[in-house]
Structure 1
């Protein structure tokens, strides 16, 4: 059983080297994205001032009181980082420092080698495994633990549980080293805050949840889990892993739904040679919805989740849900029927919030069945490409 001997210290900040390298990487990509959006395409943004005010209020990590989760449809391989090119560069340079978004990226695409792994790690992308390509995929993988913790309070006085590199739990332990591992080479604490995305991963990755400066962070997620390009701009069902980011943080994060249009024409899955080049001269629209009243939308689900977690903890011999387990779901809760239903309902409500933004764009309502897993069997048996229902899909 895990105990306080398994806790590791947290740090206040990564080294100046790491902070600077990460900030400059994100600004460089944001600059290229903005030049592409406004220099080579026609770009429209809705609801941006309100969203910038929200980001501005979160600039100082010491005064944040909750995390931020942005959620959107996914229609192109360039959605992230391209959509963040709508944020003014001056804003990103000053208010974005220690305040940029975190997101998830496919391990087998974004982390294929050391160079790519360093680039995406510095760009605040966390490695995730896709269930169709890895036995380590799914909503309970190690990176999801980082996601839940990034949306939570992190302090230097309360150490973190880190079972991924624990000599008591593993036959061998690993001392992360840079540049082989994507970690801060000038870290103030030992062992260097890091984790494996899966037990046999060849490298270790920077663990942002072990730094107080990342308390109540901003995370962006594409809950469809794959690119979906449809002429009528319908969305696939939302995979319920996103619900973990709503249900499990001690304080519910602010949730801002978004809707993206036009990036599918920039990199449509039917494109021919030169396939690797994005198309220009397209109309791109990014719409930021209003912050949700998270207590009204998710309050009942979070209450039921905590009651279920407390009950499960007691059955396992603990007085209540232990915060040191934050982001780590025991097997008894992973597939508990009530927990599964809570996650499904939470994902459905998040999808409905994105649909509201879609409606604000004047698009007709979807078939209500579009949000159901069973509906998407009509796509046919293929994983990618042109589906039987006429949509284009790419697993990302």
Structure 2
């Protein structure tokens, strides 16, 4: 019963890709599934390109990127909390009432407080999920971007703090995912009816290889200086106060790691594989596999 919402979301996402879209192309999925079925946690990061939709899944979705991009996964994964993604959601967008709070919390969304900075319990909880071998997904830009799709905004520092909090003995697989086409499903400039996703669009979902080798040196540098992750004595402080009491150099390390992760995600979106994929015959989405 606890997996009812994730399973329903997974089923609706599969129907969306199979019936609502014109063409769906997916690449890199087998390698991603191998990572997901390993004994390590998985942290996926993706570009964020579609706006919210009302009356989908009987509530308001923050975007159609999530959860529809996961409709390419086997439905069985949504029946197990370990192989169903956890993600972060802003309280003022997804936890605005009893129904929304119930729905999204059971859909494995962890509530974050907008404007409260990176030192909050949701980040700690997400790190624990990774340490426990589960899957966490984030959109590190922190907002939707539809103007120039091949460029990414500066990543929020929360992605760095999340990784800094993980157990060095159980470092999660960090996997970039690049999506395209969802910006046409829910375009910011769409007319009436604004609440409904647009049918007949072509979407692409590209899973990259893990980027751990690119970020391991930065993680090692941090852990050499901070064997135990640094945190303020209490949470809920003014963001400027947290930054003021931080050890010297911590902000620079956090910024460097976020920039490195951003670079790796942009490499995936701009390395030419997407264009080659678009030239190929689209995948046929089935309920239990891709072919």
Same fold (TM over 0.5): yes
1:301 aligned onto 2:218: yes
1:1-396 matched pairs, under 5 angstroms: 20-21=1-2, 23-41=3-21, 42-57=23-38, 64=39, 66-76=40-50, 77-93=63-79, 96-131=80-115, 137-152=116-131, 215-251=132-168, 252-292=171-211, 294=212, 296-310=213-227, 321=228, 328-330=231-233, 331=242, 335-361=246-272
Which consecutive residues of structure 1, in runs of 5 or more, have no partner in the other structure? 1-19, 58-63, 132-136, 153-214, 311-320, 365-396
SS of equivalent to 2:30: helix
Output the CA distance in 2 between the equivalents of 1:353 and 1:232. 15
RCO comparison, higher one (Cα < 8 Å, 6+): 2
Counterparts in 2 of 1:230 and 1:67: CA distance versus 1, 3 Å: same
Output the CA distance in 2 between the equivalents of 1:85 and 1:238. 26
Do 2:124 and 2:165's aligned partners in 1 also have CA atoms closer than 8 Å? no
Please tell me whether Structure 1 or Structure 2 has the larger radius of gyration of its CA atoms: 1
Output the CA distance in 2 between the equivalents of 1:243 and 1:342. 9
Output the CA distance in 2 between the equivalents of 1:115 and 1:143. 20
Q: Which residue of 2 aligns with 1:391?
A: none
Counterparts in 2 of 1:233 and 1:334: CA distance versus 1, 3 Å: farther
Do 2:151 and 2:266's aligned partners in 1 also have CA atoms closer than 8 Å? no
Output the CA distance in 2 between the equivalents of 1:362 and 1:254. 21
* 1:204-238 deviation digits (Å, cap 9, x = unpaired): xxxxxxxxxxx122110100000000244321111
Output the CA distance in 2 between the equivalents of 1:56 and 1:285. 23
Q: In the comparison of the two structures, how many residue pairs are matched?
A: 252
Output the CA distance in 2 between the equivalents of 1:333 and 1:302. 23
Superposed displacement of residue 353, structure 1: 1.3
SS of equivalent to 1:256: strand
Do 2:35 and 2:42's aligned partners in 1 also have CA atoms closer than 8 Å? no
Counterparts in 2 of 1:56 and 1:117: CA distance versus 1, 3 Å: same
Output the CA distance in 1 between the equivalents of 2:109 and 2:149. 30
Superposed displacement of residue 49, structure 1: 1.3
Counterparts in 2 of 1:107 and 1:299: CA distance versus 1, 3 Å: same
Counterparts in 2 of 1:261 and 1:361: CA distance versus 1, 3 Å: farther
Which consecutive residues of structure 2, in runs of 5 or more, have no partner in the other structure? 51-62, 234-241, 276-291
RMSD across aligned C-alpha pairs, in angstroms? 2.1
Output the CA distance in 2 between the equivalents of 1:150 and 1:343. 21
Output the CA distance in 1 between the equivalents of 2:157 and 2:189. 29
Output the CA distance in 2 between the equivalents of 1:349 and 1:231. 20
